[in-house]
Structure 1
Amino acid sequence: MELLNINANVIYNIINLLILVVAFRILLFNKVDKIFEARKKDVDNQIKDASDDRIKAADLKREYEDKLAKQEAEKDKVMSEAREKGYAQYNEIITNAQKEADTIVEEARIHAKADAERERAKYLAELSDVVIDAAAKIAANSHTAESDSNLYDAFIDNAFDKGNDK
């Protein structure tokens, strides 16, 4: 019977072991499994949230890059328009300045011509006075070669002096 005793102990130990396994399973492992499942769900949710956040971040980045590209294009457009306006204003200013310069030069030419005409008329008047004086002196004096030569020399000196006075 001793053999049966050992077998009965083995059976008794196996039954105890099975009861312990079932008890641990019911009392301990189920609770641990529930905790692990809850932790796994939390981790899965966090991974899903992180993935969603990564997708949102990529979308926001794409939107930002699109907006940045649009702003860059608009900036280039505005700069181009400003440059064109600047060139137009520059050309207008240059054209107006050229017109004013032409007007000033034309007025200066007119004034210079008028001054030249006045000087010429004045010179002709002085020259006619000198000629009249010379003619009067010639008519008043007797005509000798020496007196004519003196008169010509005086006439030339007088004309030269009046020409240098200017």
Structure 2
Amino acid sequence: MLEISFWNIAFTVINVLILYIVFRLFLFKPVHKVLEARKADIQKQYDDAAAAQKDAENLKAQYDAQMQAVDKEKEAAIADAKKKASAEYDRIIGSANAESDKIVNTAREKAKAAANEEKRKAEEEIVGMVRDAASKIAESESDAKLYDSFLKKVSDEADAE
């Protein structure tokens, strides 16, 4: 028969309290400290990201202001060039067109060269992956043969006993 005694209940309550204190000291507080540290790190990352975004917005505003100033200077230069003789204007436009064509052609050549280089690298990577896959397949076949010979040897020894 099950007996309920005051001392059993008292010792059980004391044991539970002792376990609670031990858990609180050695489990809950360290875990809480780790969580607080992680929370502080995350908040710092959010703050850093917000500061970086604010800096980027400031730089963008400066860039926009500079672009507007450049546009105004460009318009003033165009107006001044139009006031000059039409021959001078045609010469400048012709020179600018030739230079822009040269830059565009150079950029296209560089882009083609970069694309060819990326293609070559991709081909090298694919060849390497195929080689690795082939070597793994070859290794797996030899491993299977080794495993079969091991099983045969074990079964021969078991039959001998």
Q: TM-score, normalised by structure 2?
A: 0.49
Q: Which structure exhibits the higher relative contact order, with contacts defined as CA atoms closer than 8 Å and separated by 6 or more residues?
A: 1
